[in-house]
């Protein structure tokens, strides 16, 4: 059972958390060429270094809080289940949102992106 929970956590962290952080990093550094990304880059490039560092720190925090809130939604609504390999992840975990944190949580174990505990 723990293997299914770890599998889900690894996918969530790699394919949602890390991908989102990478994409926003690319947007604020001008590496994305779509119109909206270039508008954002232009605005960010007009800021001082302290503001840019702050934005860089905030990005993973916003992503983590969004994932945390989504997992809480699944915990608080038993009619909504996450199924992986015919296992209900909601029932395997004793707290999905809590799986993200601590030194052996999903973020520490699976993420390749920055993490700052707040």
pLDDT digits 0-9 by tens, 98-107: 999 988 999 9
- For residue 117, name the pLDDT band (cuts at 50, 70, 90): confident
Q: How far is it, in rounded angstroms, from Cα 44 to Cα 90?
A: 39
Once rounded to an integer, what is the mean pLDDT over residues 56-62?
97
1 confidence band (pLDDT: 50, 70, 90): low
pLDDT at residue 70 greater than cutoff 70: yes
Task: Return the pLDDT at 3.
Answer: 92
Q: Is 79 helix (H, G, I), strand (E, B) or coil?
A: coil
What's the pLDDT at 116?
86
- Closest to 25 (Cα-Cα) out of 44, 8, 50: 44
Distance CA 39, CA 28 (A): 10
Mean pLDDT of 15-20: 98
Domain spans, the chain = 2-110
Work out the burial of residue 14: count CB atoms within 10 Å of its CB; fewer than 13 is exposed, 13-18 middle, 19 or more buried: middle
Q: Give the CA distances from residue 40 to residues 25, 65, 68, in Å, rounded to whole numbers and listed in that order.
A: 11, 22, 26
Intra-chain end-to-end CA distance of the chain, in Å: 30
Structure-block tokens of residue 29: 């550094």
């Amino acid at each position: 059972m723990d293997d299914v929970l770890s599998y889900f956590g690894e996918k969530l962290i790699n394919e949602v958390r890390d991908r989102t952080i990478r994409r926003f990093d690319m947007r604020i550094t001008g590496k994305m060429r779509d119109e909206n990304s270039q508008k954002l880059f232009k605005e960010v490039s007009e800021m001082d270094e302290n503001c840019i560092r702050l934005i860089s720190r905030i990005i993973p925090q916003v992503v983590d809080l969004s994932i945390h809130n989504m997992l809480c939604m699944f915990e608080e609504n038993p009619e909504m289940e996450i199924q992986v390999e015919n296992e209900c992840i909601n029932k395997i975990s004793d707290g999905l949102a809590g799986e993200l944190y601590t030194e052996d949580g999903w973020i520490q174990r699976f993420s390749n992106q920055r993490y700052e505990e707040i």
